[in-house]
Amino acid sequence: MAKTNRRTNNMYIPKYLPNLNGKNLDRVNFSGLNLSYGYLKGASLQDTKMIGTWLCGTDLRGADLTGADLSNADLTGADLSGAKLVGTTMLGATINAANFNGVDWGF
């Protein structure tokens, strides 16, 4: 999927950034993958597993992450504005500088 060959601050940055805008990726297991700076705008990611996934700077605007597990994921600088995070688990996730404007938390 993403080939890593550049290194910044001890984190590999994919050379080829995944463009998954608007895709239906429900119930896919992305655990441990590096999707940093990728494009998941408007994607359906219901019940996905993203445990320990790198999502630094990733575009998740308007994505549906209902029931997703983002435990220990790195969301540093990710844009989740307008995303649906109903029932999403984020235990231990790093959320420094992430954008949560307009997120639907379900309450």
Task: Note if the pTM is more than 0.75.
Answer: yes
Rounded CA-CA distance 26/41 in Å is 14
All domains in the chain, ordered by first residue: 1-107 (2.160.20.80)
Q: Comparing C-alpha atoms, which of 85, 76, 80 is closest to residue 104?
A: 85
Mean pLDDT of 80-102: 98
Question: In this predicted model, what pLDDT tens digit does every residue of 24-74 receive, in sequence order?
Answer: 999 999 999 999 999 999 999 999 999 999 999 999 999 999 999 999 999
pLDDT above 90 as % of the chain: 81
Of 28, 43, 33, 31, the C-alpha closest to 79 is: 43
